[in-house]
Structure 1
Amino acid sequence: MAEINLFLIFLGSIGFDLLIGDPKFLIHPVQIIGFYISKISDYFIKNFGENKKILFWGGLFIAISTIGISFSLGKLIELSYLQSRNHFFSGLLIFFGLSSCIASKGLITSVKEIAELIERKEINDQNKRLIKDKVQRIVSRDVKSSSIKHLMRSSAESLTENSVDGIFGPLFWIFIGIVFIKFSVYLPGPLSLGFSYKAISTLDSMIGYKYNYFRYLGFFSAKIEDIFTFVPSRLVLISLPLVSDKVNESISIIKNSYLDGKKYDSPNAGLSEAIFAYVSDIKLGGKSKYKNKIIEKPIINATGDNCNEEKIKLICQLILRLQFLWIIIFVLVFFIISSFI
């Protein structure tokens, strides 16, 4: 019965995130995780910035400690809930905790807002600065000198890549936790795995770079993120065409997306960008500026259209449709497993 309640809490948290997003009156777990990563990373860089070996092993300590603390906190809340016969306060913590692991509303709203500003407002210097500020908040590249066309592409690339890190990755691992907890309350559960994945994603976004100190400090964080996002990114690859109007072309779209996506250094980001690019028929990739250095990413869907507000809206719709498809699959799998246990 407790496992069913946990599953219902999970479904409720998804709905809460879609409707409300992150409540402003609560401290988001990412803020706490980010504060810890920032402080301990700054310590290693400040004191051992010239020692690559210490940075390398220090990065492993940062990764393990961040993930371990996040996992332990989630596990303690789960045990409190399961061993107190569904204590209301613990259940509430799980509800808000799971909701905080999923970023559907926040991600979609921020990118839609950028697209609407570009398409519906007169592009003067003041509006362009506002648009650049909003884009800079969701991308790691430098957009100070970007054209409107590049700002729109940057927003689309952020939306398609982060849909896995921010939505489908957490959904996958939270559901795995719900399955595990059916076998034993001491196995990793939905909140412990949800918090762990959020920690992994935050580590990668903060220190998982390939330049300067981070090449060594963030090595383990980037590799761990690659491992834990491997399966969710490929599930998105094969399932996204099923919720589009190109379902009859699924096999060729998946094949082309895989071929284009694997050109990227990341084993996951390229695939998630590529499948959305082919399904929505947009062209992604090309030149971008990172830390005063121009990097040219492989072109994805070379014959696709330039990104615009309508394409952004379509991608957002695809994300929501795919989320509902995954929920249906989760429900079916959960009750099939329950019938055998």
Structure 2
Amino acid sequence: MAEINLFYIFIGSIGFDLLIGDPRFIIHPVQIIGFYIKKITNFFIHHFKGNKRILFWGGLFIALSSIGISFEIGKLIELVFLQSKSNLISGILIFFGLSSCLASKSLISSVKEISDLINSSGTDSKTEKLVREKVQRIVSRDVSTSSLEHLMRSSSESLTENSVDGIFGPLFWIFIGLVFMKFSIFLPGPLSLGFSYKTISTLDSMIGYKYDHYKFLGFFSAKIEDYSTFLPSRLVLLTLPLVSFKINQYISIVKKSYFEGSKYDSPNSGISEAIFAYTSNIKLGGKSKYNNQIVEKPVINSHGDICTKEKINLICQLIYRLQLLWILFFTLIFFNI
């Protein structure tokens, strides 16, 4: 019975994330684990920045300790809930904890806000400056000199790439935890796996880079993120066309998306961007500026349209539809195991 209650809490947390997002009155778990990652990362860089070997193995310690702490906190809350037969306080902690692992509201709202500014206010210098500031908050590339068209593309790429890290990746691992709970309460559960995946994603975004000290310090974090996102990204590849208007081109779209997305340095991100690019018929990839260097990513869907407000709205609709499909799919599996 407690496992069933966990599933209902899971469904409720998805709805809460879609409607409310992250409540401002609650400290987000990412802020807590991010503080730990930042402090211990600064320690290694400050004391061992000239020692590649120590940075390399220090990065493994940072990754494992951060993930381990997150997992244990989630597991403890799960055990309290299950062993106390659905304790109210632990149930509330699980509800808000699972919701914090998802980023549907914040991710979609931030990108829609950008597209609305560009389309409603024209191209005056004040608007362009505001748009650049908002885009810079959600991307790692330098957009200080970007055109409006490039800003829209950057926003679309951020939305399509982060839809896996922020929405479908957590959904996948939370559901795996729910299934494990049906066999034993001592196996990894939805909150412990949800917290772990969120921490992995945070590690990658904070230290998983390929330059300076992070090339060694963030090596393991980047690799762990690659492996943990491998299955969710492929599942998005296979299921997104099912909720699009191009289901009759299913095989062709999946093949093209996999082929072109796999050319990226991060195939998970490339495949995610590619399947959204083909289902919404937009062109992604090309030149961007990173750390004062121009980086040219492989072009995806070269004959697609440029990114517009209408295209961003379509991508958001696809994200909502795919979430619904996954929930229905997960529910069917959960109650038939």
Instruction: Name the TM tier (shorter chain).
Output: over 0.9
Q: Which runs of 5+ in 1 are unaligned?
A: none
Q: SS at the partner of 1:285?
A: strand
SS at match of 1:295: strand
1:34 CA drift (Å): 1.1
Matches within 5 A, 1:83-122: 83-122=83-122
CA distance in 2, matches of 1:36, 1:102: 21
Residue 333 of structure 2: aligned partner = 333
1:252-300 per-position Cα deviation (integer Å, ceiling 9, x unaligned): 0000001100000112000000000000000000111111111110000
Counterpart-to-counterpart distance in 2, 1:260 and 1:175: 29
Deviations 1:181-204 (A, max 9, x none): 111110000000000000000000
Query: How far does the alpha carbon of each residue in 1:155-213 deviate from its partner, in whole angstroms, 9 at most, with x for none?
Result: 00000000000000000000000000111110000000000000000000111011111
Distance across 1 between alignment mates of 2:335 and 2:182: 11
Alignment of 1:76-225 (within 5 A): 76-225=76-225
Is 2:322 the partner of 1:322?
Answer: yes
- Report the equivalent of 2:306: 306
Structure 2 equivalent of residue 2 of structure 1: 2
Aligned length: 337
Aligned to 2:57: 57
In 1, the alpha carbon distance for the partners of 2:85 and 2:307 equals: 51
1:234-273 map, 5 Å = 234-273=234-273
Distance 1:199 1:212 in 2: 22
C-alpha distance in structure 1 between counterparts of 2:86 and 2:179, whole Å? 18
In the alignment, the residues of structure 2 paired with residue 180 and residue 63 of structure 1 have an alpha-carbon distance, to the nearest angstrom, of: 24
Q: Give the SS at the match of 1:137.
A: helix
Q: How far apart are residue 50 of structure 1 and its match?
A: 1.2
Q: The residue matched to 2:335 in structure 1 has which SS?
A: helix
Which amino acid in the other structure matches residue 279 of structure 1?
T
How far does the alpha carbon of each residue in 1:315-336 deviate from its partner, in whole angstroms, 9 at most, with x for none?
0000000000000001100011
- Counterpart-to-counterpart distance in 2, 1:149 and 1:45: 38
Which secondary structure does the structure 1 equivalent of 2:139 belong to?
A: coil
Find the residue that maps to 2:294 and give its secondary structure: strand
TM-score (norm 1): 0.98
Residue 122 (structure 1) shift = 2.5
Partner of 2:29: 29
State TM-score, norm by structure 2: 0.99
Tell me how large the CA RMSD over aligned residues is.
Answer: 0.6
Question: What amino acid is the match of 1:103?
Answer: A
- What is the CA deviation profile of residues 2-29 of structure 1, one whole-angstrom value per residue up to 9, with x for unaligned ones? 0000000000000000011000100011
Unaligned runs of 5+ in 2: none
Name the residue aligned to 1:281. 281
Report the residue type matching 2:252 in the other structure. Answer: S
Give the 3-state SS of the residue equivalent to 2:182 in structure 1. Answer: helix
Q: How many angstroms apart in 1 are the aligned matches of 2:213 and 2:287?
A: 24
Per-residue deviation at 1:128?
A: 1.1
Distance 1:72 1:265 in 2: 32
Q: 1:123 Cα deviation (Å)?
A: 1.8
Write out aligned runs for 1:33-48 (5 A): 33-48=33-48
Deviations 1:220-244 (Å, cap 9, x if unpaired)? 0000000000000000000000000
